[in-house]
Amino acid sequence: MTGVARLADLFDRARRPVVFTGAGVSTESGIPDFRSPGGVWARFDPREFTYRNFVGSVEGRRRYWALSRTTYPLIRAAAPGLTHRALAALHELGRLDGCLTQNIDGLHQRAGLPDERVLELHGNATRARCLDCGVPYARDEIHAWLEAGVQVPSCPVCEGLIKPFTVLFGEAMPAGVMQEAERRARSADLFVVLGSSLVVYPAAYLPAHARHAGATLVIVNLEPTPLDARADLVIRESTGAVMDAVVADLRRRAVAPEGANRSWLPTPS
Ligand SMILES: [Zn+2]
């Protein structure tokens, strides 16, 4: 049995399948992996773009927004890719309990995965808010200010500090989000890593939590990961091709059951 067929089988049998998505899922949509060779962090020093520098100095914020002005248009222009669409299809088939993502581009939701199914571990780049009065701002609006020459956006309501809704270097993940992610990881019976090299902590602990709690662990990633040795199945292929084939396999099973009771599958619409 091929890796794809085994993975389709696992999704078919799982009661609470959870996926964990990383940069590899978004690079298929044309969003560069900042950590890859030649990526943003090969040209900029990530130590300058810390939470401390951002909230601590106008100069830190000026540098952040100058970089963000060049990276945000890539996110805004990207369209959901094969993996995003396959996961939305899995949800429609009733075969996806939740999606924990390290990505900040909002592409899972734009592909049709409902908001409540997606847990954004590192935040969302399409939103921002005032740290002082809490007023939310669309990143599009802030981008327009940057394009109009504003170097350090401040809140039009209270002149407070506007921060993107993303988790910056050195910034703690929101406690509620991390707790909820751990809860979902521990309650999963199938945990599938898609396009993450599992090197950014604490998010990378989640597959280990799931495995400890008894989930079957599957890793689909082009490169080896530190958890490969503990995974039940490792597929070293692009996530889009694999998940597209998994969905096609599950749809075939739904249409032509092979003797087994598949009554729980919704009728394809
Ligand atoms: Zn404000």
pLDDT in tens, 133-163: 999 999 999 999 999 999 999 999 999 999 9
CA of 201 to the centre of ligand 1 (A): 31
CA of 160 to the centre of ligand 1 (A): 5
Residue 37 has what pLDDT?
A: 54
pLDDT 10s digits, 83-140: 999 999 999 999 999 999 999 999 999 999 999 999 999 999 999 999 999 999 999 9
CA of 150 to the centre of ligand 1 (A): 17
pLDDT, average across residues 152-179: 92
Q: In this structure, what DSSP letter does residue 115 have?
A: G
Q: 196 and 204 in contact (C-beta within 8 Å)?
A: yes
Band of residue 267 on the pLDDT scale cut at 50, 70, 90: low
* Among 121-125, 156-160, 170-174, 209-213, the least confident range: 170-174
Q: 1 and 69 in contact (C-beta within 8 Å)?
A: no
Q: 173 and 121 in contact (C-beta within 8 Å)?
A: yes
Across the chain, mean pLDDT equals 90
CA of 82 to the centre of ligand 1 (A): 39
Percent composition of the chain: helix, strand, coil (DSSP 3-state, to 5):
45, 15, 40
End-to-end CA, the chain: 29
Q: Does an H or E element contain 219, and which?
A: strand 216-220
Give 262 or 47, the one with higher predicted confidence.
47
Give 32 or 194, the one with higher predicted confidence.
194
Residue 229 has what pLDDT?
A: 95
Q: 80 and 29 in contact (C-beta within 8 Å)?
A: yes
CA of 134 to the centre of ligand 1 (A): 6
Q: Is the pLDDT of residue 268 over 60?
A: no
Half-sphere exposure in the Cβ direction for 180 (13 Å, CA)? 15
The yes-or-no answer on residue 122 being catalytic is yes
| Candidates 108, 122, 143, 209; catalytic one | 122
CA of 100 to the centre of ligand 1 (A): 30
Band of residue 218 on the pLDDT scale cut at 50, 70, 90: very high
Q: Is the pLDDT of residue 36 over 70?
A: no
Q: Is the pLDDT of residue 43 over 60?
A: yes
Pairing of strands 190-194, 123-130: unpaired
Give 262 or 71, the one with higher predicted confidence.
71
